[in-house]
């Protein structure tokens, strides 16, 4: 399936007009219509915006998968934020941060008891 067909289906399923989608994404209606009619291809940034808008994945927009719903993450937003922070810490400092986290966790457990 091409991007244009996928977009037409998403618009129809969600009851959204091209005009409304263009306005919501801050792109011109003519540009969006070009995507829907397969006269133009959206850049990666626009595909990400489309996927976010329709609560799906870029793979679904591109037609790589037929599964509209994104795979659920085992983490909530705060947990994902902590993982992102941890990934940004230099490798040699990670053990210190892990130990600090364990200390805070144990402190919280003792306080509840």
Q: What would the two tokens of residue 61 be?
A: 């927009």
105: pLDDT strictly greater than 80: yes
Cα-Cα end-to-end distance for the chain = 57
Fold of the domain built from segment(s) 3-62: 434 Repressor (Amino-terminal Domain) (1.10.260)
pTM of the model: 0.61
Q: What residue spans define the domains of the chain?
A: 3-62, 77-112
| Rounded Cα–Cα distance for residues 113 and 110 (Å) | 5
**pLDDT band (50, 70, 90) for residue 73:** low
């Amino acid at each position: 399936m091409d991007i244009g067909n996928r977009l037409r289906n998403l618009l129809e399923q969600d009851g959204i007009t091209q005009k409304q989608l263009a306005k919501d994404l801050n792109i011109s209606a003519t540009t969006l219509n070009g995507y829907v009619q397969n006269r133009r291809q959206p850049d990666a940034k626009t595909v990400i915006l489309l996927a976010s808008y329709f609560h799906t994945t870029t793979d679904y927009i591109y037609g790589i998968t037929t599964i509209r719903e994104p795979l659920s993450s085992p983490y909530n937003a705060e947990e994902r934020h902590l993982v992102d922070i941890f990934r940004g810490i230099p490798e040699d400092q990670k053990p210190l941060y892990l130990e600090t986290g364990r200390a805070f966790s144990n402190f919280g457990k003792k306080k509840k008891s």
